[in-house]
Structure formats: structure tokens, C-alpha cells
Chains A and B, each alone.
Chain A
Amino acid sequence: MSDRVAIVGAGTTPPRPLSPDQSFREMTFAAAARAYEDAGVSHRDIDSFISVCEDFHEGTSITDEYVPDQLGAVLRPVQTIAGDGIQGIATAFMLIRSGIADVVAVEAHAKSSNILRHDEVLAMGLDPVYERPLGVNPHYVAAMEMRRYLHDSGRTDTAVADVVVENRRRALGNPIAPYGAVLTAADVLAAALVSEPLRASMISAYADGAVVLVLASEERAEAALRPVWIRGIGWSSDTSALSMRDWATATYAALATAMAYQMAGIERPADELAFAEVDDTYAHKQLQHLDAARLTAPGGEPLVPVNRSGGSLGMGYCYDASALYRTAEAVRQIRGEAGRNQVPGATTGLVLSWRGVPTQTGGALVLGDH
């Protein structure tokens, strides 16, 4: 019995700022149908199902109630991971490794446009006694972190602006990305301040969308046309308490990537990885996450091509589904299907995710063609 697990199918709906014509169920159904088709399976071939969602994003308590029908999962083993998309993939990976399932589907969706006051939902993630009474825009958490990161790393806000310029430009070459744009660093730095030094242009805009991935054991993956292998996976959480954190470094990302690299046998990530899809919910997070993943040169430049998909800045931010969009884009890279944004020889890549403010939870995934 093999321990190897592959992603054998990926289905997405193009993320978009508004989706009044589709419910989240219809969006998920569309993504599932595409993923099952891509994997060459029907819903009956899938042994176990995982949905990734959070109550407050859905506006429904116990939101896992509304998962099974659109996945073809009625009366089947279904569980919800109230966590990051990569934690959902990790659960699927472990179900297959345990032997209890051969084929597992992972689903995540975001209907961000249904949320009228994003700031208020974000603020509900803060501690109700110690943190929330400050009553300020919760993006301040990211701004404080950005300030500390720039101070400790010696980077400038122009380096952060360059991330926005590059990712939005790359999005022009990604047919599913809605936020492609040609900008200059000056444009980015001219945007309104949200909480100094964080500017509105440095925050990924919200989007609606759904992603379904199908994972399979080696025995089942051999029948698939284009399996992409999970060579390593890791995830980690640090405290969400603001008073207890290390503001300058993404400890969770360092721990998660270390776990994934170890599993994948990667010792020199810059030499062994061909590309990375890295969380850029806030532009400075991309830099901070690359540091944690040991993919930054001493001069500050990334050592591998990063976020050729456009990242969240280009594709839109879909909460915990963002990790699955990044993963689906990494799958396209390794399959050689990334079109204008294709990295030549993209045989191995990293996906690195983060759950957003105020969490310190992230996941890492090393994918490869063998």
C-alpha cells in the first residue's frame, strides 16, 4: 500500500466581484461538476467529502448543514473544516493515507458579495473583551504588522507597492482573474490610507467563487490523466491574541513550510521549487510569507517566480477558499496549462496560505509532477 496522494481533479468558477445570478450552492455545483469531470469520476466514486467554511462568512450558523446536496454527497461521509483551505486538503490527504478513503473531494466557496459589512465580520474575530472594544477598523492589525515587518526587514513601502503592481499585472494573463490592471508603484502609493502604512490598494479585493479539488490514492490516481502529486503538506497555528504575537515574522508559515518541506524531502527550497503561489491578502504578507518559506534572496528579491496567477490581489480574495484557488492555479502550472503565465519547467511548486486577520494560521503544500 502506497502513501502517495495526488490531486486528480480541479474545478473552479471564475472569481468575480458580484454574482447575483448564482447562489453559493449553484456555484459549488458548477465547480464540483468541473472537478469530477477533470478527475474522470462521478460523485459515487468519491468516498469522503470535505467542505471548508466558516459560519460568519455564510451568515448561517452550523453552515455545514448546507453542504451535501450540491456535491452529490447525500448520506455520505461529509465533514466541515472550519479552517484554511489547506487544512481541508490536509484532512483529505490524511483520510486517504489512513486507508479509510481512496478518493476524497474538498470544497470551498465564498459569497463575499453577500456580506454587507466586511469590517464588522472581521472585527468579530477579535477577542470580545481585550481587543474588540477599541472599535477601530480591524485592518489595523495588518497595518501594525506591516509597520513592524518593514521596520525589522528594512523593506520600504515601495517594495510592498511593487507586489501589487506585479500581481495585478500578472492577473491580466490569467483568464479567470477579475482584478487585472496596469499600475505603477506611484499609483499604489497614492491610494487612500486605511491604517497607516496600509493603503486600500494593498488589500486584496473580495470576490465570489467556488473551488472543488479531487484527491486520490496512488492506486486510483494512476487511472487519472493528469495527476499532480502532493509531495509535502504542513499547517500550523499560532495564537490569535494580539498581545502574544511576533508582529514581524509569520511563525505559522515558517512552521507549516518546514513541515511540508520535510515531508517532501526539500532541503534547499530555492533550488528545488520552480514557482510559488503565496498568500498576498495584504501585499506585505507576500514578502513576509516568502521570507518564512526561505524563498527570499538577501537583497529582498524572490528566488522563484511568485504568484503568476495574480494571487489574491489579482484573482480576488475568497476567504478560506483562496487557498484552494491558489492550489488550483498551482495544479495548472504543473500540468503546463497556465497559458501566458506558464513558468517553464514548473515541475514542483509551493502553495502557502493564511487565514487572514486576526489569525496566525496557515498551510503549506508542495506539489510535484511525480
Chain B
Amino acid sequence: MTRKIRRRVAVVGAGMSLFMRRALETGRELSYYAAQQALESAGVRLKDIEAVTMATAPDAFDGVHMKGEWLLDGAGGTRKPYLRAYVGGGSGVFSLISGWTLVASGLFDLVLVVAEEKMSSCQPHPQGAFLTIFDHTIERPLGPNLLWIFSLEQQRYMQTYGIRNEDIALVSVKNKRNALDHPAAQVAANLTVADVLASEVVAWPVHRLMVSPVSDGAAAIVLAADSIAQRLTDKPIWVQGVGWALDTSYWGNRDLSYPRYVEVAAKMAYEMAGLTEPRKQIHIAEPYDPFAYKELHHLEGLQLADRGKAPEDLAAGRFDRTGELPTCPSGGLMGVGNPIAAAGLMKVCELFWQLRGEAGARQVPGTPERGVAQAWGDLMQIGTVAVLGVH
């Protein structure tokens, strides 16, 4: 790519609903709460918003066809240019990229980005909806679910690098503890590695406390073009780089020990952000952690840890909130919860609050200037990466 990015885009407001197992509110209402907070924090009204993007994962959760259309009035999209960009579990971070595209193109100056998920509508359990994500001929007859395929991936990761389950359980301990400071968290807890490994095995080697919960929730941000952002706030958080990459559908043909698609996406985002030494230049990371091992796996794909070495860094305290590179200071999906698309945008919200010094009890020490948020989805297939910073 030879061209230069047309204009700078900043996050100027963020909001989110509580994350919970079973919300009484509808998807439209959850979207409204998050959108309303984001607008309020940006100091703008819905009528100032020129376009809306929406992220929400499979229609099968709600059993509503064209779910984006159904949610649009809750998200403030009525009679506006409205867009639902969709990359499975990667949609939450991708919604920022989609919103960035609208503003960076010069078509719009002020855009609302909403991410919503209501998984509890799916009875008896949303894993049922995931049965329909697999290839109808090759895979579905085997009756796979997500726990099943991610346990394969975790197994491959452990096998390749000689990693023990204790090393991975430590992610659950860290993130659930970090989440104790998050007012919207669903499954915050103070646990030990022994507690995690004492929880039941759901698909070996994955224990129940190594999996993020089923959640309902929504998150939202407001994006503004350069000049507008400077007028709205003294502390705009700039979108410095974005990247995304989708690997082949044939996941059975890939080496699952390393997420190449995250590496490709990260390099795209780092190049756009002008980062040459991400480990020094990135001060906070919000890698996607729907399963405990995924945080470590993704930190390696993000080039923030050596391959197979993230567990050692974790054990040494490098990723603690007070460590050299705090990861998931929010509490992540393991602690705050995992309403799929909303969980990804929650990570962007966390960077917004951390970089503005507004994260309260979760605030990482020092004055972090740059963070990275990442999400992942489809058939262990897509990486979506955004670099945000104060400059």
C-alpha cells in the first residue's frame, strides 16, 4: 500500500452496560444504554452523530434474521447511514476499525460505534448456536462445539512449547482479580491456580474457570475527525493504527500453535502507527482472552512476547497491572465477561479510560501513552488489532 492515511481519527467518548449472565433488557435497550453513555461522555447528542456502525455476533443467538436491522433504533441508527461490519468474535475491535473507516474517509466527522450481544436468549445454551458455524459437510456431522476446538488449540499450544496447565491457569487468576476493580464485571473473583484447576474439566485441558462466561451486554464509543475531536475534548485518544487479517476457512490444515493471522493484523496496525519496537512502544495491552490460553497465544501473535514464552513472562509478573506490560487491566473477558462483540469494544473502552487516566482503581501506574486492543474470531481465523495513543 502506497497511499497515506487521509486524516486522523480520535475516540472522544466511551460507555458500556453491566455485563451479566441474563439481562432483563432487550438487545435494543442494552445498545441504548451503552450508546447513551458514550454520547454523554463525549458531550454530544444523537442528532450530532452523522453515521452509526453496529457490531453484533451471530443472528442465531437471538433467532432474529438481519439482527443489525432489528437493533438499529436502539443503537441510534434510525434515518442515518448505518453499517454492520461482521467478523465473528473479532467484531468488537473491528467495530472501531469500521467506525475509523467512516471518519478517515472524510465522509463523516462524528460517528457512533455500538457493539451489543445478548447470548442468554439462546436456550438452553448458546453453544447450540455455535453448532451451526462449522462446515456443513466436513465438520458438522462430528458435532463439534467451541470448547471442543479450542481445547484442541490449547493442547497444541501446550504440546509445542512444553507449557503446563498451571501456567495457563494463572491468566484466569490475574484477569478475574483485575476485574474486581471493574464496576461492570460479571465474574470477578480472587482465586488461586489451585482453585482454577479444581474446577471441572469442560473439554480437557480446559477447566471451567479457564473459559469466559456466557454474557449479555453492550459497549459504545464516539469517534471524531481531527478538528472536531480537539474541540470536544482536551484528551482525545487517537486511533494510531488498525489492522485485520482473515486466515483460510480450512482450520484443520493450519498449525494451531501460533496465530499467524494476529501477527499479520498486528504488523499492519504497527506499520500504520509507525511502531518499530512494539514491546517498548506499547504500554498497555488488551489481548482477546475468551479462554485463558488465548491471552498468552495472542500476546505472542501481537509480537509482545516470544513464541512459547508468554507463560514465563506471566509467571514473572510482567503482565500484572503493575508490571512492565499490563495486559487486560480491565479484567478481560475472563473477568468482566464475554458478550461477544461488546467484549471486544469493552477492551477499546478500557484503553480509552486508561490512556486518559480515568480508569480509577484499575489505573495502571505511570502515564501510559499507547495501548493495543485485539480481538479474534471465526474459526480461529481472524485477528483484529487497533493501536490507540494520546498523541
Contacts and interface: CB of A to CB of B under 8 A. Distances in A.
Given A65-B381, A77-B245, A97-B6, A54 B59 contact: yes
A121 interface: yes
Interface in B1-40: 1-6
Interface in A1-17: 1, 3
A154 interface: no
B65 A3 contact: no
A75 B245 contact: yes
Interface stretch (A172-180, A195-203, A235-243, A286-294): A235-243
B163 interface: no
Instruction: Name B's interface SS.
Output: mixed
Nearest to B380: A65
Contacts of A102: 1-3
Interface string B91-116: 00010011011101111000000000
Instruction: Name A's interface SS.
Output: mixed
A359 interface: yes
Contacts of B181: none
Contact of B246 (A68, A93, A100, A121): A68
A222 interface: no
B63 to A, nearest CB: 6
Interface residues of B, number: 70
B129 interface: yes
A81 B84 CA distance: 6
B30 to A, nearest CB: 16
Interface in A80-116: 80-83, 87, 90-91, 93-95, 97-102
A79 B381 contact: no
B73 A241 contact: yes
Given A235-B81, A361-B69, A76 B246 contact: yes
Interface residues of A, number: 64
Given A65-B378, A99-B5, A127-B70, A78 B246 contact: yes
B82 A60 contact: no
Contacts of A255: 79
Contact of A91 (B85, B87, B88, B265): B85
A251 interface: yes
Contact of A61 (B2, B129, B381): B129
Contacts of B270: none
Contacts of A93: 105
Contacts of A124: 59, 63-65
Given A100-B1, A237-B69, 13 more contacts: A60-B133, A64-B378, A74-B246, A75-B260, A77-B268, A78-B246, A79-B98, A83-B83, A91-B83, A94-B104, A94-B105, A99-B4, A101-B3
24 contacts: A1-B4, A61-B60, A64-B88, A65-B378, A68-B248, A74-B247, A74-B248, A75-B245, A78-B87, A79-B87, A79-B94, A80-B87, A82-B84, A83-B83, A101-B1, A101-B3, A128-B63, A219-B3, A237-B80, A238-B79, A240-B66, A244-B73, A355-B66, A361-B69
